[in-house]
Chain A
Amino acid sequence: MTTDEGQAAFAYYTWGNGGGFVDADGNWAVNSAENVEAIEYAIGLVNKGFTNPNPATQTRYDLQDMFAAGKLAMVIAPNQLPTYVADKEGNINLATANIPANEGKSSSSVGVMDRIMAFKDDSAPDQAARDEAIGKFAEFFYNPENYVGWVSMEGFLPAVNSAVGALVEADPSFQAWLDVLGGCQFYPTAKAEWDQVKQGVIAAEQNALTGASVQAELDALQAALVG
């Protein structure tokens, strides 16, 4: 629930309870009953001592180090964790599992992505040539010959099926992550208010950690979003 990535903690718990940032129509719904129940549950875990004691200031990098050293039993982490543990020469047995969900709800992994964007430019003299150039670049980038090397270097999961075969052949353990990819949800970053929501849910969690009401905090954020 840190200042940098607290929105991820919000996502883990709310998506696992059938809630989330938006409703089925894509409108902001941060104060839904499912969200309030999920965050109250998460805060309860902290208060009962079932988590690291300072979730607002202790980053996942710290927790990953402790996990690699065999000092932590369980951690929510990205797919690079096994490589990270191996690089740290951590001699631990590890296995992966889905992020827990409430009874009757489905588990979701948090997907994060970067975007390659081309911008509209009505002033360009030759729009057709411009569109062709953009298409050529995209084809070059996503060509497995180039893309597989780049994805492997970054430790990412591929965005195109054509790269899957080569990646799994290079590292069979990759398949487990690819199986999870289908169940990923992504932050609604295309919505203009996203950075306000991101900071807002982090503030709501951190205020709740100091005793504030989850319902009140999320109601205030929702009111600020919808006006």
Chain B
Amino acid sequence: MNTLNNKRWWEPYLWLLPSIVLMAIFVVFPIAIVFRLSFSEISKSGIVGGFIGFRNFKEAIGLPAFKTVMINTFWWVLSVVGLSTLIGFALALVLNKKFHGRKIARAIVVFPWATSLVIQASVWNYIIKYEYGNLNNVLLNLGIIKQAVNWRSSYQVEFIWECWVGIFVTIPFVTFCVLSGLQSIDGTLYEAATVDGAGGWAKLWKITLPLVRPSLTVSTVLNIIYVFNSFPIIYTMTKGAPANKTDTLITYLYMLNFYDRKKGPATALSVIGFVILCICAGIYMITVMRKEDDT
């Protein structure tokens, strides 16, 4: 058997080769190109010139909106990932219990995830519209308000609405990640805990959370990546207006490239975003995996 394995040591690599080639062409190569472009002079029409060192990065970081955009990105990722994880986890606990209509409830939870982000953001735009939005209509008809409310009274409020839409569309993904983890937990553990006198909270902290941690890790890491790179919600609802005050890094670099035609700083921002994402996702995974190894 050992002789056979040594002779066929190349076999796993052969099966991996198509995936490696596809990843190299469609992932690694474009990333390398973007890195190269970020250190190059690029004209408004996209003609690439010579190497210019870190000039694009200095220009990008020196832009007036950079600080605001980075702060927005931080709050965007923290609020959407954080709150969707909390709400999604709670929803998964509910959907894991047996009740009439559970299948229908699970199907309904999928809808926001299955619908495109542009449609979701457009629908929420209509809901909160001042002149004819559903929210004002319903509240006026119920007599809760006497006149229409401007639900987008300031850019801070508009950003909060964008975060809410992000949370709303992310909850289903977290819910089903956690649900798959919950369904793999052996029920006898809870029975044994009940016999030992453990209450609901004790079971949650001592049994559910530790065993669901791998699913939570996967959903959190993937969400950090998806949410950080999310474009449609903010672009549809505000396009970063007014004056980039509701922009995150991804929407801002898009505006910088296609509206302001500052292609050099835009590519520098993509590299900055890529590095930040790698560091955040890496730290999170290392920290959580270390905890799992310790336990």
Residues of chain A whose beta carbon lies under 8 Å from any beta carbon of chain B: 1-4, 52-54, 56-57, 66, 71, 195-196, 199, 202-203, 206-207, 209-210
Contacts and interface: CB of A to CB of B under 8 A. Distances in A.
Interface stretch (B51-59, B178-186, B234-242): B234-242
A2 B240 CA distance: 10
Interface of B: 44, 130-132, 150, 152-155, 158, 237-245, 255, 259-261
A3 B237 CA distance: 12
Nearest to B262: A196
A203 B237 CA distance: 17
Given A4-B239, A199-B260, A210 B245 contact: yes
Given A53-B150, A195-B44, A206-B243, A3 B131 contact: no
A199 B261 CA distance: 10
Given A3-B255, A195-B44, A199-B259, A71 B131 contact: yes
Given A2-B239, A3-B259, A71 B155 contact: no
B241 A57 contact: yes
Is chain B's binding surface mostly helix, strand, loop or mixed?
Answer: loop
Given A57-B158, A57-B239, 10 more contacts: A2-B241, A54-B130, A56-B155, A56-B241, A57-B238, A57-B242, A195-B259, A195-B260, A202-B243, A209-B242
Is chain A's binding surface mostly helix, strand, loop or mixed?
Answer: loop
A54 B150 contact: yes
Most chain A CB within 10 A, of B131, B150, B155, is at B131
Contacts of A3: 239-241, 255, 259
B260 A206 contact: no
A12 B285 CA distance: 54
A196 B63 CA distance: 14
Contacts of A52: 131
A3 B240 CA distance: 8
Contacts of B153: 53
B242 A210 contact: yes
Contact of B260 (A56, A66, A196): A196
B131 A66 contact: yes
Contacts of A210: 154-155, 242-243, 245
A206 B239 contact: no
20 contacts: A1-B242, A2-B239, A3-B240, A3-B255, A3-B259, A52-B131, A53-B150, A54-B152, A56-B155, A56-B238, A57-B237, A66-B131, A71-B132, A195-B44, A202-B243, A203-B244, A209-B242, A210-B154, A210-B242, A210-B245
Contacts of B240: 3
Contact of A56 (B131, B242, B255, B259): B242
B259 A206 contact: no
Nearest to A71: B131
Nearest to B256: A199
A169 to B, nearest CB: 39
Contacts of A207: 242-243
A39 B16 CA distance: 62
A54 B242 CA distance: 10
Chain A to chain B: the 5 pairs with minimum beta-carbon distance, closest first: A206-B242, A206-B243, A56-B242, A56-B241, A3-B239
Nearest to A217: B243
